[in-house]
């Protein structure tokens, strides 16, 4: 008998399951808030044991177990390069213990927990704030329910970078994520589960969709996840960042969403022929058209476009490129993020010197273009996006 193919969980499926248990939108909202924020279901004067329908209370343990299994920590690699042992529940590693989502139902639904809150925030959520906001970079190797692996990255100041696909179909020649092509899409619940997993370890106030995969190729699931994180997940809309190599569907769909994220456009060069070689399976859209469409979205949302540019020595770091960037972005609501290339096994590309990178930033600033250097998280551990998964495989 051939096993059925794995079907990743989507938020819409979870909502329908809750409705089948007699939940109304208010019940869905409270459960999704509790899950996505790693928070209690209780509210002041409204304990969940009296609020949730009886059918949901009976199924809650099974639902929580299923949600908990969507994304599990396989390995943690902090910036010091030493892998943290995640076996035997040793995840905290000298940090103050933080609560997990899977607390016993008697605790999660207790009236006492509701009375302990202030304005709907629990002590559990307070434990996730504080010193953890200032922790440095760590890469998380995340195992999904079917055994596939993706990567998330804990960033400074409460940031988190998450994946949207296992593998990638764009095939950027300087990126490890797409070396074996696209394996499968992540369901919207799996995308949110990466945020939940990170929040069990520290506070998360910004989520960028810049990990493994091209979000535009999994648009329905990514937008579902963004809506939940922006409406129930306590993430400010401008702190949700949708990254893409450029796809017309993105510019058609994002303006229509209730939660409209900030936009990051992976450009990497202003030379159309070079871009086609660097991003061989990206949509063949004129660079000027991409910039104009991105500018329209930026003005509509009041969030500047973040142009992403992986700096590769001798490839896209020339004076001619700087001049073309200055012309392309003149007067636009935009910021240029230079990301020095993170070395990948088997590739001959190199990053420019720090002096050359600083010179490029200053050149654009003299032209009135906001430019900055953003190190790809994981330089110290040779952890360019996709490398941890590749080593695990």
**pLDDT digits 0-9 by tens, 156-214:** 999 999 999 999 999 999 887 777 899 999 999 999 999 999 999 999 999 999 999 99
pLDDT surpasses 70 at 86: no
Please state the pTM of the whole predicted model. Answer: 0.85
Q: Select the more confidently predicted residue: 200 or 128.
A: 200
| Separation CA 186–CA 210 (nearest Å) | 14
Task: State the residue range of the domain holding 33.
Answer: 11-78+106-125
* Residue 342 within a domain: yes
Q: Is residue 59 within a helix (H) or strand (E), and if so which, with residue range?
A: helix 54-68
Residue bearing the bigger pLDDT, 353 or 78: 353
pLDDT computed for residue 385 by the predictor:
58
**pLDDT over 80 (residue 301):** yes
Tally of domains within the chain: 2
Q: Which residues are catalytic?
A: 151, 385
Residues 175 and 29 both lie in one domain: no
Residue 175 is predicted with a pLDDT of 86
Residue 224 and residue 119 share a domain:
no
Q: Do 258 and 323 reside in the same domain of the chain?
A: yes
Query: Both 61 and 113 in a single domain?
Result: yes
Structure confidence at residue 5 (pLDDT): 79
Q: Is residue 96 part of a domain?
A: no
Are 59 and 22 a contacting pair, CB within 8 Å? no
Within-domain flag for 357: yes
Give domain status of residue 314, yes or no: yes
pLDDT in the model for residue 259: 98
Residue 240 lies in a domain: yes
* pLDDT band, residue 82 (cuts 50/70/90): low
* Gap between the Cα atoms of 136 and 132, Å rounded: 9
The owner of tokens 């996730």 is 128
Same domain? 153 vs 210: yes
Query: Which of these ranges, 117-126, 279-288, 350-359, 363-372, has the smallest mean pLDDT?
Result: 117-126
Residues 21 and 170 in one domain: no
116 pLDDT band (50/70/90 cuts)?
A: very low
Do residue 199 and residue 234 come from a single domain?
yes
Among all chains, which residue has been given the structure tokens 């949901």? 56
CATH of residue 376's domain is: 3.20.20.70
Is a pLDDT exceeding 60 seen at residue 217? yes
Within 10 A of 130 (CB to CB), how many other CB atoms are there?
11
Whole-number pLDDT of residue 128: 43
Residue 138, token pair as written in the block = 């760590």
Q: Are 7 and 14 in contact (CB under 8 A)?
A: no
Cα separation, 384 vs 83, in Å, equals: 15
pLDDT value at residue 354: 95
Residue 106 pLDDT greater than 70, yes or no = no
> Same domain for 115 and 177?
no
Q: Given this model, what pLDDT does residue 328 score?
A: 98
* In a shared domain, residues 118 and 232: no
Do the domain assignments include residue 163?
yes
pLDDT surpasses 60 at 289: yes
Residue 239 falls inside a structural domain: yes
């Amino acid at each position: 008998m051939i096993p059925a193919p794995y079907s990743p969980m989507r938020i819409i499926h979870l909502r329908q399951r809750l409705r089948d248990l007699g939940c109304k939108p208010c019940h869905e909202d409270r459960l999704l808030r509790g899950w996505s924020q790693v928070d209690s279901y209780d509210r002041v004067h409204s304990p969940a044991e009296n609020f949730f329908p009886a059918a949901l209370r009976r199924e809650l343990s099974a639902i929580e177990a299923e949600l908990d299994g969507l994304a599990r920590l396989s390995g943690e690699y902090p910036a010091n390069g030493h892998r943290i042992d995640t076996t035997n529940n040793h995840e905290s590693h000298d940090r103050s213990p933080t609560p997990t989502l899977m607390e016993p139902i008697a605790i999660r639904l207790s009236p006492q927990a509701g009375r302990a809150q202030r304005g709907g925030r629990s002590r559990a959520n307070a434990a996730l704030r504080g010193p953890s906001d200032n922790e440095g970079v760590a890469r998380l190797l995340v195992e999904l329910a079917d055994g596939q692996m993706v990567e998330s990255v804990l960033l400074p100041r409460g940031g988190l970078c998450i994946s949207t696909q296992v593998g990638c179909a764009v095939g950027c020649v300087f990126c490890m994520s797409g070396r074996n092509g696209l394996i499968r899409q992540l369901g919207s619940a799996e995308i949110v589960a990466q945020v939940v997993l990170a929040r069990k370890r520290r506070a998360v106030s910004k989520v960028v969709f810049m990990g493994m995969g091209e979000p535009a190729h999994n648009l329905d699931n990514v937008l579902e996840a963004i809506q939940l994180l922006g409406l129930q997940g306590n993430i400010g809309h401008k702190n949700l960042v949708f990254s893409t190599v450029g796809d017309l569907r993105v510019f058609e769909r994002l303006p229509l969403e209730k939660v409209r994220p900030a936009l990051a456009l992976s450009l990497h060069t202003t030379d159309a022929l070079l871009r086609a070689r660097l991003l061989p399976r990206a949509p063949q859209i004129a660079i000027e058209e991409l910039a104009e469409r991105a500018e329209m979205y930026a003005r509509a949302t009041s969030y500047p476009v973040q142009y992403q540019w992986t700096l590769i020595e001798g490839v896209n770091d020339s004076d001619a490129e700087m001049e073309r960037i200055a012309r392309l972005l003149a007067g636009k609501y935009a910021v240029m993020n230079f990301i020095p290339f993170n070395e990948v096994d088997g590739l001959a590309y190199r990053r420019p010197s720090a002096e050359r990178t600083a010179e490029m930033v200053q050149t654009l600033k003299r032209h009135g273009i906001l430019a900055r250097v953003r190190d790809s998280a994981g330089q110290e551990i040779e952890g360019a996006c996709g490398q941890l998964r590749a080593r695990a495989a």
